[in-house]
Amino acid sequence: MLESADLIQDWVKLISADPMNHVLMINIIKNAAKLIANLIIMGSGILGRAVLQAYRKALDSYNSLVSIKNWERNVLKLIVSWAATVIIDQATSLAKFLQVLEM
């Protein structure tokens, strides 16, 4: 706090000593304000890009997860279909075998 007060007192002394210093100080303050505004705008742009990139990455991860789930579902259907085919073929073979034995 003392540093801020000392700085303000130094500015008052500088401005009161020479009127041209007043203009100089105003220009310095304007430039500092412009610099701070530019930093805020640039920072918000960087933050916005980071948020958008994180959103895209999360969306890609979700799509990958959905894709894996669909793949698992398709593989499961294929296995069930294959197992059913094997069971039906074996039952048919057994029925034919039993028919041959009955003759």
Sequential pLDDT tens for the chain (103 residues): 456 667 777 767 766 766 666 777 778 888 888 888 888 888 888 988 999 999 999 888 888 888 888 888 888 888 888 888 888 888 888 777 777 777 6
User: pTM, whole model, 2 decimals?
Assistant: 0.45
Structure tokens at 78: 């294929």
For the chain, how many structural domains are there in total? 1
38 to 24, 44, 51: CA distances (angstroms): 21, 10, 20
Structure tokens at 98: 């039993």
- In whole angstroms, what is the distance from residue 81 CA to residue 75 CA? 10
Print the domain residue range for 41.
Answer: 2-102
Structure tokens at 49: 């890009």
Query: How far does the chain reach from its first CA to its final CA, in angstroms?
Result: 110
Cβ atoms of residues 25 and 33 within 8 Å:
no
- In whole angstroms, what is the distance from residue 6 CA to residue 17 CA? 16
